[in-house]
Structure 1
Amino acid sequence: MSSNYRYRNCFLLLTSTLTVMAGATIAPALPGMLSAFSGYPNAEWLVKSLVTLPALVIVLLAPLVGWVVDKSHKKLVLIISVAIYGVAGGSGYLLNESLLAIFIGRLLLGVAVAGVMVSCGALIADYFSGPERAKYMGLMAAFGSFGGVVFMGLGSVLAGFSWQLPFTIYFVALLLLPFIWFFITEPVIAQQPATEAKESGASLLAGQQADLQLPQQSPRQSPTAIKNSVLTLCCAFACIEVFALYMMPIHFPFYYSDVTNIAPIGGLPLAGMIITWMLLVMSLVSFNFAKLRRGFNYYQLQIAGLSLVALGYLFIAFKPVFSLCFFSATIAGVGLGIMRPNVVMWVMSAIPPAHRGKAMGAITSSVFIGQFISPLLTQPIVQMWGYSAVYVSVALLLFSIALVVAIGTALVSRYTAKVGV
């Protein structure tokens, strides 16, 4: 691999870390912002909504951004998105006297994040194929998780000095712009490799891998219908994965503090340490996704991921002591680290290059839908039966989904064997 390719891959992965900063970076600054804008009507609601506002925009606009990516140059979309990201995200620091200006900046930030997520995923899918694509999809997920740990920690430190300072972290995007311009190239789309063309039919619906030699699909099956089925399935899995992930930052700090009275270590709450550890485990597993994928198909990896997260949450519900929660977070982190790159790799292998932008847009929307519905669906359970019940409920839900997927896999495998694909 030439040095230009190494730089290209490096800066593309670094750019993919920007997506995790969208909401989490300013979360530690919310109390200070509330004090600064306490004179506004509904100030508490407005300030808290600044965290989730970009996600709402992403849900609504990611499919449109995906269409734009397919119809234009992916590199150009990425450059424009990164530029908007830096300016809109950092505007909260410069325009800190106007809540309306910060609100508008957060709206534009959502547009930028959608552009970065969709174009980065589509570029990686176009640059690589087979095992290399699996490797870099895993790296993209790993860099995102590592970035979450770093930027959340940095945002917490800066918020201790001033609520405006966490907004300066968004200016990092502007430092990446010249490197994106020089090293990231517009991909030249060649004809889809034979193995991927074969994979794009019923074989993908059966969850088989790209590097296997597969017979041609049956004329009785519609390639478009099968690809749409794969995309729909992967969107559902992406939504479920983020729904499960957000169980930890939303509920675990309150659950842990309710049942323990252990003092923080080095000033850091133990619940935060456990969540950070889970993110690190996710990163390490995603980093090695290409190795994990060998010998397993997409369905098998998805079933394993769902089952591991469910098992981890069951342990957390059993007794939230530090050692058991640490072990449980490790198990759940492994499962989450498997699911994230597996879903993106699966859908990018099924969708032809001309439609990968729209596919990434659909996946991106699904990710943030999962983020939205996680508190909406789980908080009523907490209010009625408590935190332990909500972890048990989600664990049983994930186990049930894994069982349905396993049964579905068996049925699809029998069908594909019957029709001779």
Structure 2
Amino acid sequence: MHVQTPGRDGAPVRREAHFLHALILLSTVICGTLAPTVIGPVLPAMQQHFADVPGIETLVPVVVTMPMFVLGALAMVIGAVSDKIGRKRVLVGALVLYAIAGTAPLYLDSIQAILASRALVGLAEAAAMTVSTSFIGDYFTGAKRDRYAALQVTVASTSAFVFNLMGGVLGAYGWRAPFVAYALPLLLAPLVQIFIWDTQGGRDLREAHAHAADETTFRPWLLALICLAAFGVGMVFMVVPVHLSFMLVQLGVHSTGAIGFAYAMNSVGIIAGTLGFGWFIASRFSVLQQFVLGTIVCGLGFVCMGTAHDQTVLTLGGAINGVGCGIVLPALVSWGLRSLPFSRRGFGTGAFTAAQFIGYFCSPIVVMAMVMHSGSRFAVVQSWGLALFVLAAVCVGGSLLRVRRLKLG
């Protein structure tokens, strides 16, 4: 796709985004995967280090969830700011802040100070994820945009798998060591500064975009619908990461290797789903069909997990669910980007990113409330699968009724 940028005389100059630019932007998604993966293995050691702090059992898990909470609260605001002042400066600043705040626990000796630094990590994460996604919407259209939206999730899932291993290795050197990984965005900041050009400039640039990339109009009701879908996707996505290990233990599986393998298969499923979306599904199915397909596959995985009586079937169910999540996540991003005009893309991307992370945050709360009521994670997970089947059927039925009404009208 050609992108308009201002020349020396103020007139728009056409540039073309290439794979290098996409690769740099895709790499910034590591900001969304470092928090729960790198430091997860050392949380028990951190809790032991601060054992004399009252309520430490509650405070240590918040070290992981604090960035998600801040991201959910601020992503929309930061996206709106990037619409006004330009995305590049926001992204570069976010990468630097992420590295500074992320590595702060290497020398902080107070759990309260560490939590404050984690809040700054959430601020930087909100900016990096919102702006990088907005850039992809600015730089690319059509099949390329869909493919790179899918690759975002592919890179995130792959990096999560790698950082999980890295966290375990670094954790052998103490609970502080894994926080070194948060310095990685410092390598990306210069690349963004040098190779990424801003898609915003003076009035001439905005007018050029109004005729080129900004063909759609801003529809608040559609953004609200996308945010609702994003919240639901976030709720569904977090079920397996949070509950799979507990379900395996309930079946008598206590080997960390076997549990790690089950999680790896879920990650492989997500990667397979994103690749299938980018190279096949996106170009052949409508948005509704993409969501219906992904919802059915997610539901199938949940039902398989809920009815499992052994480790193999449960692991298979987690992998199937991963494929479905790998379809609906890029479908959501692609739908959001194609529905937003250039002038509100940062705001809109921030809105559905925030809704998705609020879904992440709420998912364990809702699921555990259901588990306490029913007494079984297996029954709850199976009921989620059946609910997804019903949702897919309602979507298909509603679409058929709409088509029929159009024909009769």
Q: TM-score scaled by structure 2?
A: 0.89
Q: What one-letter code is carried by the residue in structure 2 that aligns with 1:339?
A: V
Match of 2:323 among 309, 316, 334: 334
**Cα 1:4–1:232 shift into 2, 3 Å:** closer
SS state at 1:302 partner: helix
In structure 1, the partner of 2:165 is 153
In structure 1, the partner of 2:390 is 400
**Where does structure 1 lack aligned partners over 5 or more consecutive residues?**
201-222
1:327 positional shift: 2.6
Post-superposition Cα deviations, 1:292-329, rounded to whole Å, max 9, x if no partner, equal: 11221000010111111111110111124232223322
Distance 1:118 1:45 in 2: 29
Give runs of aligned pairs for residues 22-421 of structure 1, distance below 5 A.
Answer: 22-95=35-108, 97-187=109-199, 190-191=208-209, 197=215, 200=216, 224=218, 227-261=219-253, 264=255, 268-290=256-278, 291-383=280-372, 384-414=374-404
How many pairs does the alignment contain? Answer: 388
SS state at 1:160 partner: helix
**Where does structure 2 lack aligned partners over 5 or more consecutive residues?**
2-14
1:369 positional shift: 1.1
Distance 1:102 1:305 in 2: 38
Equivalent residues of 1:256, 1:320 under 8 A apart: no
1:7 positional shift: 2.4
1:407 positional shift: 2.5
Q: What one-letter code is carried by the residue in structure 2 that aligns with 1:407?
A: G
1:343 positional shift: 0.7
Match of 2:34 among 9, 13, 21: 21
**Cα 1:417–1:89 shift into 2, 3 Å:** farther
**Cα 1:38–1:107 shift into 2, 3 Å:** same
Distance 1:344 1:32 in 2: 37
Post-superposition Cα deviations, 1:233-277, rounded to whole Å, max 9, x if no partner, equal: 22222222221121112111111111124x63xxx4322211221
SS state at 2:116 partner: helix
**Cα 1:21–1:385 shift into 2, 3 Å:** same
Q: TM-score scaled by structure 1?
A: 0.87
Match of 1:8 among 21, 30, 52: 21
1:367 positional shift: 1.2
Distance 2:335 2:408 in 1: 23
Q: For the aligned residues, what is the CA RMSD?
A: 2.2
Q: What one-letter code is carried by the residue in structure 1 that aligns with 2:400?
A: A
Structure 1 window deviating more from structure 2 (348-357 vs 397-406): it is 397-406
Distance 1:39 1:356 in 2: 47
Equivalent residues of 1:281, 1:333 under 8 A apart: yes
